[in-house]
Amino acid sequence: MSNTPAYQALTQTYARLHRYEHLGSLASWDNSVMMPPKGNEARAAALAELDVLMHGIKTDPAIKARLDAAEQEDLGEFERANLREMRRRWASANLLPAELVEAKTHAVARCEHAWRSQRPANDWAGFLPNLREVLRLAREEGRFLAEASGKSPYDALMDNYEPGMSSAEIERIFGDVKSWLPGLIRQVRERQAGETVIRPVGPFPVECQRELGLAVMQLLKFDFDGGRLDVSAHPFCGGSPEDVRITTRYRDDDFVQSLMGIVHETGHARYEQGLPRDWLGQPVGVARSMGIHESQSLSFEMQLGCSPAFLSLIAPLVRRHLGDQPAFTADNLGRLLTRVEPGYIRVEADELCYPLHVILRFEIERALVDGEIEADDIPALWDEKMRDYLGLDTRGNYRDGCMQDVHWGHGLVGYFPSYTLGAMYAAQYFATIRRGVPDLDARIAAGDLAPVFDWLDAHIWSQASRHGTDELVRRATGEALNPAHFRAHLEARYLS
């Protein structure tokens, strides 16, 4: 007989929730990848029903009594960490009424489904009514969470993705980035003006691109027995740790977009596949935060994938699957992937311009939640910030402007800062790895990626949510987040 009955009962409850979440994630993946258009309303109703069912389990009054009782039981360090994460989940769920959870699920499904056709049509007027409703519910959610936590509504929403992080800290970090990044972009562009870059000559058949992507996934040790690659309107990683689903999108005139999208999503997938199997189904066994999740995708895409050593490794794969042409030398691929050219699309942005895309979205979504602006004001503010930050004119171009991302329509308000936080964490990881493995680049070029994967597994994947974010990063690198590593990485890559 266990001497921790309350704790054991809690683990059973959260294992049950994990199974429901597994089904919900696969239904959501199917919604974006396989589902015929006429299935949307029924799928939205089914997912809303599932969300309400899970909400009922999460808010069962018996959980509170068991959490309190478990605090008095004889638990080890791991169990204490799990109990901490259980209490955090319970507190968050109990702040939201079931009616709001159900309404948000319906609104998000309608908005995201319509966005798929409205974005290509540049139909901001058609998109706006659905977006207004999603943002109204996000504000309502933020108010509920803020009243109990004492945080601002935006900070309370951001806590869903970055526990413990505040918008004041994000503003400080981003303010520093804005002070030096535009100057670095100008300096790099002047330097690159004299470079010769050979553009690949297409078309590149989709099936050939797919086979190339699968070959690179294999090189990156993706477990194909525990996941798969598909196509969606917006690349993402979904599913569950036991069944990871990643997607990309293809253009026959540009193979780089799909390839690097696959490398990026494989980073997410390896994190999920690397989470400790003994902890699956428990709150302590999930990814720590979205910033830490993005640090994995950006470790793969930017730190590893765009490095000269890795490009020398995959250049033969590119030639094998897409044909031999002068653009496919490792050196030229490196120039292609590090070309700095301000553009409209965030997911196609180069490494230097990308943070400005994120800062723009952070500033807009915070103003939306705080009630300083309304959804109707987004295009004008977007146009102003794109001109100021990237020197681009997006007036009237909603498709490549404020409609390009699925996040707001999907209710993911407060998510965007995670992308640049992830880039900063990734730079800090690799600074640490390089200190321990001075010949890292030579080993990567020789096909030995173990130093990277072993370090990430030991310090990030296997730790899941055992520690808070700051403690996790401090244990891994010797210090909490230090954005100076990100600046040093960019200056070394683009100016050395």
Question: Which residues are catalytic, by number?
Answer: 265
- Radius of gyration of the chain measured on its C-alpha atoms: 23
Q: Do 287 and 271 meet the contact criterion of CB atoms below 8 Å apart?
A: yes
For 201, half-sphere exposure in the C-beta direction (CA atoms, 13 angstrom radius) is 5
Give the whole-angstrom CA distance, residue 12 versus residue 267. 30
Give the whole-angstrom CA distance, residue 80 versus residue 279. 13
Sheet of strand 243-248, all strands in order from the earlier edge strand to the far edge: 227-231, 243-248, 237-240
Nearest in space to 357 (alpha carbons), one of 177, 234, 488: 177
Give the whole-angstrom CA distance, residue 342 versus residue 352. 9
SS3 363: helix
Helix pair 5-33, 77-94: axis angle to 10 deg: 60
Give the whole-angstrom CA distance, residue 15 versus residue 330. 47
Q: How many CB atoms lie within 10 A of CB 213?
A: 25
Residue the block writes with tokens 């396989």: 34
Pairing of strands 243-248, 237-240: antiparallel
SS3 480: coil
Residue the block writes with tokens 């929403």: 157
Q: Do 373 and 367 meet the contact criterion of CB atoms below 8 Å apart?
A: yes
Phi, psi of 123 (to 5 degrees): -95, 75
Task: Tell me the three-class secondary structure of 212-240, residue by residue.
Answer: HHHHHHHHCCCCHHHEEEEECCCCCEEEE
Helices and strands, counts by H and E, the chain: 20, 3
Nearest in space to 202 (alpha carbons), one of 262, 159, 257, 240: 257
